Amino acid sequence: MHGTTQEVGISSNPSNANVTLIGQAYGSTPIILDLKRAKSYMVKIELDGCHADETTLTREVSG
């Protein structure tokens, strides 16, 4: 594992849901974000007419 960032893909079904990280809009699904490894992120995915979903991305080492 090298570097201070990690690409994270976010998708939804149906697509075109709005993606918000820590209260800031980042775009629509599907999307690939380049996030700092040392941080946790609150992610919210919303699409009109669908249930909004919110989760926290946290740092974890596997292996």
pLDDT value for 44:
97
Contact in structure between 27 and 19 (CB atoms under 8 Å):
yes
pLDDT value for 59:
79
pLDDT value for 19:
97
What does the alpha-carbon distance between residue 47 and residue 3 come to, in Å, rounded to a whole number? 33
pLDDT along the chain (63 residues), means of 10: 87 96 95 92 96 89 67
Query: What does the domain layout of the chain look like in residue ranges?
Result: 5-49
Contact in structure between 61 and 55 (CB atoms under 8 Å):
no
Identity of the residue numbered 25? A
pLDDT value for 63:
63
Give CA torsion, residues 17, 12, 54, 46, to 10 deg.
20
pLDDT value for 1:
59
pLDDT value for 22:
87
What does the alpha-carbon distance between residue 15 and residue 28 come to, in Å, rounded to a whole number? 8
Q: What is the reported pTM?
A: 0.83
